[in-house]
């Protein structure tokens, strides 16, 4: 059940199209700082309650990142694996037309689960506005000859997670990067780019996972070789040499750093006691509940919250919205992620024994309240 408070949700729009069978909804959580910003996910189980919670995360994420966006999110109830390419196109078109009254004036879309840059092309064209969504293909133009699309495939979220990790290590005064072991839960868009930058920096990348399981090698995984295996074999578990285990075992590995980059609630009441990492960077949304975070905090584990660590995606969206090129986008992601992670860590230091999510929330809420005045 959707919970309402002083910040929202401001509007919940549920839409349906009889011809295509499209059934979806948009939750505009808060527009104090600007139009609600958040992706569209397409799954057979997506619900208004799920979307509302994610829209609130976007409200806080944008406020903390210092972006002129509010929080929003959309869902389309459908199983893309059961759709033809043409059927999916028609459903996306129908959804884009249905929410045109609020988009892009009060809501700006983006890709999320099972939605990519081709879908954002369809969405923008059907909506009639290039400003209606971000994450469009790089060759999609506002004017002839002017590129404006910055696809999420550029890896802005993983790039931001990498920089949040560096700031956390600086805070912990960990010196020798080459001795620090890293496990990355999920080898998709976020995980692959986080692994790329961390490996290039010299970290010992020892484990990662996908839907088929996890691969672990205590001596380290070769990033380029792993990418080739993933592309050719469709799973990281075919990488050799290494030990293959069940995917969820990744949180139990004896590593210094755990980066979550895929499954919600991967760390929960049943397994949190098995976590051995001393630093967790939340590249995925809601990898654990605040209650579980609190239990790990009491164990002395430093956790960089999702809406701090994985804001690279929405910062990239802002860069696209403003017409920046990819090079400037990466500079902006680095600048904002580093600045905001440091601010949260500094404030947490002032407030002894206070977990980072609480501090980050306080900062985000204070910015919203100042705007409301």
Average pLDDT, integer, range 5-24: 96
Residue 269 pLDDT: 95
Pick 156-311+342-361's CATH classification: 3.40.50.2300, 3.40.109.40, 3.40.1190.20, 3.40.50.720.
Answer: 3.40.50.720
**Contact yes or no for 133/110 (Cβ under 8 A):** yes
pLDDT at residue 141 is higher than 70: no
Report DSSP state, residue 153: G
Q: Is the pLDDT of residue 301 over 80?
A: yes
Helix axes of 312-321 and 156-172: crossing angle, nearest 10 degrees = 130
State pTM to two decimals: 0.89
The answer to which of 30-39, 62-71, 364-373 has the lowest mean pLDDT is 364-373
pLDDT in tens, 353-370: 678 999 999 999 999 999
Q: Report, as an integer, the average pLDDT of 279-291.
A: 93
Catalytically active residues are 73
The tens digit of pLDDT for each residue in 205-260 reads 999 999 999 999 999 999 999 999 999 999 999 999 999 999 999 999 999 999 99
pLDDT at 143: 53
Residues, the chain, total? 373
What is the tens place of the pLDDT at every residue in 88-110?
Answer: 999 999 999 999 999 999 999 99
Higher pLDDT, 114 or 142: 114
Q: What is the pLDDT of residue 322?
A: 86
Please state the domain extents for the chain. 11-58+69-149, 156-311+342-361
Q: Is the predicted pLDDT of residue 146 greater than 70, yes or no? A: no
153 pLDDT above the threshold of 60: yes
pLDDT > 70? residue 145: no
Strand blocks (E) in the chain: 11-17, 22-30, 36-37, 40-43, 70-77, 107-108, 141-143, 146-147, 181-185, 204-210, 213-216, 243-245, 257-260, 279-282, 302-304
β-strand 22-30 against 11-17: which pairing, if any? antiparallel
Q: For the domain with range 11-58+69-149, which CATH number is right: 3.30.200.20, 3.40.50.10860, 1.10.3720.10, 3.20.20.140?
A: 3.40.50.10860
């Amino acid at each position: 059940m959707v919970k309402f408070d002083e910040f929202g949700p401001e509007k919940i729009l549920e839409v349906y199209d009889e011809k295509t069978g499209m059934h979806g909804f948009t939750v505009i959580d808060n527009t104090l700082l600007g139009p609600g910003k958040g992706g569209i996910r397409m799954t057979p189980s997506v619900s208004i309650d799920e979307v509302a919670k994610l829209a609130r995360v976007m409200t806080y994420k944008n406020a903390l990142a210092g972006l002129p966006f509010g929080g929003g999110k959309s869902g389309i109830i459908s199983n893309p694996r059961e759709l033809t390419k043409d059927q999916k196109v028609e459903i996306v078109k129908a959804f884009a037309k249905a929410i045109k009254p609020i988009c892009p004036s009060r809501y700006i879309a983006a890709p999320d689960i099972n939605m990519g840059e081709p879908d954002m092309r369809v969405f923008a064209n059907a909506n009639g506005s290039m400003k209606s969504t971000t994450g469009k293909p790089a060759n999609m133009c506002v004017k002839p000859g002017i590129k404006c699309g910055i696809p999420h495939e550029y890896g802005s979220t993983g790039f931001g997670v990498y920089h949040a990790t560096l700031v956390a290590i600086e805070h912990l005064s960990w010196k020798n990067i080459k001795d620090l072991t890293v496990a990355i839960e999920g080898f998709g868009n976020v995980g692959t780019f986080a692994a790329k930058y961390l490996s290039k920096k010299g970290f010992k990348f020892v484990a990662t996972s996908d839907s088929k399981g996890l691969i672990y090698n205590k001596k380290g995984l070769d990033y380029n070789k792993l990418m080739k295996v993933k592309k050719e074999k469709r799973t990281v578990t075919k990488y050799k040499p290494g030990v293959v285990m069940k995917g969820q075992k990744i949180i139990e590995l004896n590593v210094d750093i755990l980066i979550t980059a895929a499954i919600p609630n991967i760390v929960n009441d049943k397994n949190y006691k098995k976590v051995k990492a001393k630093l967790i960077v939340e590249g995925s949304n809601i990898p654990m509940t605040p209650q579980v975070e609190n239990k790990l905090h009491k164990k002395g584990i430093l956790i960089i919250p999702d809406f701090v660590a994985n804001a690279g995606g929405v910062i990239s969206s802002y860069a696209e919205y403003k017409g920046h090129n990819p090079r400037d986008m990466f500079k902006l992601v680095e600048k904002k992620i580093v600045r905001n992670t440091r601010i949260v860590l500094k404030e947490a230091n002032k407030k002894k024994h206070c977990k980072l999510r609480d501090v980050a929330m306080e900062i985000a809420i204070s910015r919203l309240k100042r705007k409301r005045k």
